[in-house]
Structure 1
Amino acid sequence: MSILAWIALGSCTIWAWLLLGQGFFWRTDQRLPRRAAEPDRWPSVAVVVPARDEAEVLPVSLPSLLGQDYPGAAEVFLVDDGSDDGTGDLARQLAARHGGLPLTVTSPGPPEPGWTGKLWALRHGIGLARARAGGAPDFLLLTDADIAHAPDSLRTLVAATANDLDLVSQMARLRVAGAWERLIVPAFVYFFCQLYPFRWINREGARTTAAAGGCVLLRTAVAERAGVPDAVRGAVIDDVSLARAVRRCGGRIWLGLAERVDSVRPYPRLGDLWRMVSRCAYAQLRHSVLLLAGTVAGLCLVYLAPPVCLAVGLFGGDAVAAWAGGAAWAVMAGTYAPMLRYYRQPLWWAPLLPVTAVLYLLMTVDSAVQHHRGRGAAWKGRTYPRPQTAPER
């Protein structure tokens, strides 16, 4: 057989394994577990929202938090992380206009050395919540400023913890409106699920661990036992770091796709999406050139080889390369289809996944280039020259 045929067969074998052996990552049925009966006493919750220059999205997201239909005691802490666009003042105006849950707006000042801005803001908000006269809340809801919650979101999150869960996290449904968002956003979640299969994460005692930082409900006692957020203060990929810290101290974790928790942040241009991915892609690879090289080679073999082998095999008369490449591409598109349905997108986007994979490959390489130029993870005017991954110990 030709070298091309061997490459096609290798890719086909990998896709057969991904289909059956990677925790069924492509299925989208990991949804929030529901409780049949409501608790006799609803635990208290502090909602902590780190916000930096979020005036564009706050009019949609903040009223959804203030308007939560929650039977227990709940309070919202919005931490204005050095915004220049009037985020804090706007939050107060929205609270006065919409009412609902009590809102405290505070600002901790610039982060101390070794802290990322978001985790510094979370530290300040969690500290305020713990210092309340009534005592520390039973739970912390850590949610990003661009996340809009359905009115029963907090109630269903808390109810899910009745299954002895200490951390319940939902992957918010990201905005998909423009062409670039349709091409890149569903694939972003698909790749995340491939890297961190939700079924594996949700098994008790599992080694695979992750969370989705936009929506995390965390038991306060477990957060204190895990040393959160101080234990992960320098992590750029803070959600995975947080989940690992919780699991290391014996906490039980659940992660799934959201049904009524949505990100309202727009990414209309390719550059917006590029910055979102590239700011932490190299951190995910632990800033290793060897891991980067392996990732590039793997992406080429898994995502690019199938259509290339099919095309070259058909035009060059290599039947093995053609059918193996075609089979791999078909499995690839088939596993992507459920995510497209979840995002309510046409299934004809599925065969375009190799194009999206090329873009992610370039974003990852760009992330490495920026890191080695000393620019690190740049986000909203801050640069972390040596961003950290989730600690292993």
Structure 2
Amino acid sequence: MKEIKNVLIVTREYKSSRTPKVGGTGVFYKNLCAELVKRGISVRVFLISKYTFDVEEDGVKIHSVKDIFKANPFLELLRSSTGKVKAFEQIHFKTYLSEKKIISDKISAWIKKNNFHFDIAETHDFDGLALSIPKDIPYVIRCHGSWSVLEKYFGYKKVHKGRIFCEKAAFKSSKNIITISRYNESINKNLFDIKEPKLIYNGIDEKFYKPVENAEIIPESVFYLGNVSFEKGAETLINSFIKLKKNYPEASLHFIGKPNHYPDYIADIQDSEIKNSVYFYGNKSGPEIVDLISKAEVVCFPSKGENFSLSLLEVMAMQKPVVCSAIDSFKEIIEEPVNGLIAREENFHEKISLIFKDDDLRNRLSVNARKLIELKFGIDKMVDETIRYYQEVK
């Protein structure tokens, strides 16, 4: 197997001091890169974002260029206008391909100017960004969740056709694919006809996300971690909480994550007891999340669709009981009633009640949740498997 000394990550998301508000993919790549550096591997990130900058954080060197469409008003106008008319569809697709070519040229110029050499590159599946990786660099695509998947399986609307076109083109020309769950593998095989992907579960730092000793738990508190949205099940949980309050008048609901319009949604509820029992904390840093989740009696994940959930793993690592929606990616992690509970949309309140009133159940779920993370979903295991796969790629 070849030795891996220099790794290139090409991405539209990376969590850094200059890009603090990113999704799960950005957090994932920050964690992966930091761990690769700890193993003596040089990592450079080529980032396409809102900003132009160069910075080094956690030993990772980040080179960010401005989003091509935002930097080129003519190209943005062409992309936008051609995407609305069926007759201009091929021009729309070519516009997106030209964006990938511009990114590829920028990467090649950056490499040549600095005399870089990379043993392997990695990128995500969304936007077909693999089309931008110079042909002389072997690369892998990791399936975090493409626009094609979000549209077909998770009900996302108004996805740009050019994005889907590029994703299909990228998979068609790529042979080294990492999937992040068996469910994720299944839907990507069906959608893109990919062959022999490598399954590597996402991992989290269980040394950071761990139980907080002597934490002051808020009695009858229900927590939610993630973007507060319809797709993530925010309304499902709010409706279940209203039912829960009938039997547990002291119960409270706590949202950690971008609140979007939901504070106004709660403000429109007539019942003041409900309004005064719901809290929105907004986006929080890792240490702040640990501090808040440590106070939870139960944490709910009512999402309508997920490829995989790092947030769920983080909460389980903190030895908290969880109630999850009955979607395939959650059922791949949760074994009821061993390490968590599974709920239908209409009975979240019933499953939460079980945890509130049964101390033995709550303790058993909590301890077994932590054990599962230590056994199967630690970041060391994920990084070791990633490096071994990198070594196999030609």
TM-score (norm 1): 0.27
Which structure carries more helix by proportion? 1
